[in-house]
Structures are given as structure tokens and as C-alpha cells.
Amino acid sequence: MTSLASWTRPNRIRDLLVESVARVPARVQTKLLAAFLTIVGLLIVLGAVGLSVLSGINDRTDELIKLQRKIAAYRQVQHDTTSQLYGISTALLSPDDRMLDAALRQLNQFGYDLDRLEFVAKDEAELLGRVRREYKGFIDVVTNVVDLIRSGNAAEARKKQIEKAGPLADRLERLTNQLVNIAEADMVGAIDATEGAYRKSQFIVIGFVLGSILLALGLGYVISWSLIEPVTEIGAGLRQIAAGDFTQRVRIVNRDELSTLAADLNRTSEELGRLYQQLEAASRHKSEFLANTSHELRTPLNAILGYTELIQDNIYGEVPEKIREILDRVQSNGRHLLGLINDVLDLSKIEAGQLTLSIADYSIKEVVQTVVASTESLAAEKKLLLKADVAEDLPSGEGDERRITQALLNLVGNAIKFTETGEIAVHAAAVNGAFEVAVTDTGPGIAAADQQRIFEEFQQVDSSSTRRKGGTGLGLSISKRIIEMHGGRIWVESELGRGSVFRFTLPLRPGIGRASA
């Protein structure tokens, strides 16, 4: 991990390099191609350097071979000189024509050897010149000695040989020795030079290889980061859009396909932001419209209900029994209409997320008592038994008491509405940090297939019952929203013909974040 950390740690030089590559106004393809071509170029240069090093080594080897040959030639000359000098000396001691001819022939042979030296030892021209001069002197002396022997002057010949030929031969031997020594010294020098050159070549090649590797890695690194960084930026931008933040703009220095992509992303974000604002405005307008409409609808309705009640209370004079019955119907229909309007307003507020809970401490016992108190007259009208069973010593909860009361009121109201005989029981207890409230009735029950549907808007098991039983079909839906806003859950347990149990849970301390779900 540490190497990775240092790999990604920001570094000024690296940033500058990456940025400058990113700023190059070329397509990604072109940049990659340029990098690959650079690396290929490096390989070609590396090959050329290798070849030149190899050919240098080859030259050195040729040099060594030449020196070898030279040494061989020198040794031959040295050998010849020694052997000839002895041969001639021996020949001169026996005055035999055949031997003398042989000695002279050997002298000529020595001359050929010298000629051959001319080719291999161009550098030692001065030394060779001296050899040639000595050789010439030697030939003259030997020819002179031979002539003296042939003319029978053996004593003179011997004297000349000892006085002149001997020292000349010694000098020749020394000279040839010198040649061999020089050549051998050259050889040692050449071997040293070759080794030196080899080492130098090694450094050059290794240096080149290392340089190429570093350059290739550097290029790869800089180009990859010049691509990775904008991609990361664009990714972050996309995540922000996904999270619903349309205000951020991706800023990258690239001038290639990625800059086009970033620009497109920014445009998309802008457009989405604009659409989102429009949607928000539309949703707000819808809610405002609904709220205003509800108010406008309720104002005349309130007047109708108010007058109706005044008439019922004989404010405007005694009301005949027949009209009173009709007035009751006017009032009950008016109240139903008002309930509908209120439910639609509530639901539209919840939908628009505008319904905020007023969270405070409440007593679930008081909630149950309030609900029972306001529904027992309804139950009594239908001769139903309404029972409340609240566990002792329940803790206080945190929530919007009025909304929770509204939710429970809907459940108990429904139970009374749909039950013809028997009883309604409200039960409240605290289980695992949450209240659990159950409303049990002895009504017709709800088939399994309908048990989910009834929590949706305007859904009752039998749509004809909406009219028959009254109610808006929104009550359960509103109750569900209210309970879920408190972090709770509502469900129904029922079987056809066996009554229903509506249960909901309410956490004692609802999460703050769920308050405006």
C-alpha cells in the first residue's frame, strides 16, 4: 500500500508534466501513437548503438589478428636470421660450391622474408630500413666471403667473416628481436585497449537501455495520468449528478476527446439542473394550486355547513320534521365533501414533501383516549362495542401527536364504518423501543389479494362501498404516510369472514431524517 500511496501522492513536477501532456491539443489516439513511436525510435537507436559497438569490437579483433600475424612474421624473420647466420657460418667453413650456393640462396630467401615484412609492418618503416641496410651490408660481406673462398683465399675469408659478418649478424638479430618486442608490446596494448573499449561499450549500451526504460515508463506514466485524472474527475461529476447535485461543473485541462466528454457532461448537468428546477417549480405550483383550491372550496362549503347548522338549531325559526331530515342529509353530505377536500389537501402536502411533523413528547394513551372519545358516538349509533386496552406505564413517545391521532382515527373510523355487528378493540403496548397499536374489528375481513391494495389512494375493497360506507378512500393512504414519516410500519392481518386487525408500529424516538419523508 505504501508504494501505491507514493505512486498517487501529488507531486509538483509530476503534476506539471501530466498537466502539460493533458493540455496538448491533440486526440488521445495521436498522443498514444506519439508515445509508442517515441519508444519505437528508442529501440531503433538502441539497435544502432549495439551494432556500432559490435562493429567496433569486430575492428579491434581484426587489429589483434593483424598483430598476431605481424608477430608471427617477425618471429619467422628472427628465426630465419638466426638459422641463416649459422647456416652461412657453417657453409663458409667448408669450401664446397654446393654449400656456398645453398648459403647464397638462403640469403635470397631472407630477402623475400624482409619483403613480406614490408606488408605487415608498415608502421616500423624506420626499423625495417635499418634491417634492410644491415641485411644489404651482410649480403655484401657474405658475397665477399664467398668470393674469397671460391678464389681459395680461405684465411682472408675466415678473417672477414669473423670481423664483419659476425657483428652484422648480431646486429640483425638484435634488430629483429626489437621488431618482435615492439609487436608484442603493441599486442598487449591492443588487448588492453580492446578490453577498455568493451567496457565502455557496455556502459553505453546499459546506459541506453536504462534510459530507454525510464523514458518509456515516464511517458507511459504521464500519458496514463493525463487520461486517468480527467476520467476520475468526470466520474466524480457523474456521481454528483447521480446524487442530485446539478450545480457542480467538471473542470479538466485536457484538450482532447476527454474535454469534449467533460463539456458534454457539464451541459447534461446544466440541462438536468434546469429540468429539475422546472419540475420542482411545477410540483410547487401543483401543491400551491391544490392548497389554494382546497381553501377556495372550503370557504363556501363552510358557509353551507354553517347555515345548515343554524337552520337545524332553529335560529331562523322552527324547522318542520320533514325538512329537518333533508337538512341532516345536506349536512352529512357536506361533511363528507369537506372530509374529501381535507384528505386531498393532506395527501398533496405529503406528496409534495411539504407536510412537516411537529415533533414533541406525546402519550399514546392520550391518543387512544382522544380517538375513542371522538368515535364512541359513531360506534354507539351502530350498536357496536368499542373497547380500548392500553398497557400500564407506557413511556412517552416523540412524534406529531395530532398526526398520529389522525392516523389512528382513520383506522378506528374505518373499523366502525365496515363492521355491522360485534366489537372494535384498540390495543396499545410498547415492544422493543416502539409502540405497537392494533385495531381489531369483527367486520367482513379483507381477502389476501386486497390487503396491499387498500393502502393505495382511492382503493377500497369494493369500490361501490365508497359511496355506501362514506369515506374518501384516502384515509388508509394518509395513515400509512404519517406512520412511515415517523419511521413506523402499518399492515393488516385479515381473513374473509373473520374480521381484520390493522397494526402499526411507531418508534418511541423517530429518526430526525425521516421527518419529511
Partner 1 sequence: MSKRILVVEDQEDNRRIVRDLLTSAGYELLEAATGEEGVRLAESHRPDLILMDIQMPVLDGYEATRRIKGTDGLRQIPIIVVTSYALSGDDAKARAAGADAYVAKPFSPRELLAKIRQFLP
Give the footprint of partner 1 on this chain (CB under 8 A).
Answer: 295, 298-303, 305-307, 309-310, 313, 315-316, 338, 342, 346, 358, 402
Taking the least distance from each CB to partner 1, the nearer of 201 and 287 is 287
Q: What are the φ and ψ backbone dihedral angles of 448, each rounded to 5 degrees? A: -55, -40
For 21, other C-beta atoms within 10 Å of its C-beta total 21
Amino acid at 228: I
CA dihedral sign of residues 127, 132, 135, 137 = negative
DSSP 491: E
The minimum distance between CB 315 and partner 1, in angstroms, equals 5
CA distance linking residue 237 with residue 279, whole number of Å: 22
The minimum distance between CB 354 and partner 1, in angstroms, equals 9
Q: How far is CA 480 from the centre of its chain?
A: 44
The minimum distance between CB 355 and partner 1, in angstroms, equals 8
Taking the least distance from each CB to partner 1, the nearer of 391 and 515 is 515
Amino acid at 286: K
The minimum distance between CB 328 and partner 1, in angstroms, equals 14
Taking the least distance from each CB to partner 1, the nearer of 300 and 320 is 300
The minimum distance between CB 319 and partner 1, in angstroms, equals 14
The minimum distance between CB 390 and partner 1, in angstroms, equals 25
Taking the least distance from each CB to partner 1, the nearer of 402 and 503 is 402
Backbone angle region of 484, left / alpha / beta, with phi > 0 → left and psi within -120 to 50 → alpha: alpha
Taking the least distance from each CB to partner 1, the nearer of 254 and 405 is 405
Q: Hunting for cell 414519516 — which residue is that?
A: 485
CA distance linking residue 203 with residue 193, whole number of Å: 15
Per-residue buried b or exposed e for 162-201, using 16+ beta carbons within 10 Å of the residue's own CB: eebbeebbebbeebbebbbebbeebbeebeeebeeeeeeb
The minimum distance between CB 335 and partner 1, in angstroms, equals 8
Taking the least distance from each CB to partner 1, the nearer of 278 and 314 is 314
Residues 6+ apart with CB under 8 A from 142: 88, 92, 103, 104, 107, 165
Q: Interhelix angle for 28-93 vs 166-242, to 10°?
A: 170
The minimum distance between CB 309 and partner 1, in angstroms, equals 5
The minimum distance between CB 433 and partner 1, in angstroms, equals 28
Taking the least distance from each CB to partner 1, the nearer of 201 and 308 is 308
Distances in whole angstroms, Cα of residue 123 to Cα of each of 105, 118, 177, 193, 425: 29, 9, 16, 18, 130
Taking the least distance from each CB to partner 1, the nearer of 72 and 310 is 310
Length of the chain measured in residues: 517
Taking the least distance from each CB to partner 1, the nearer of 103 and 345 is 345
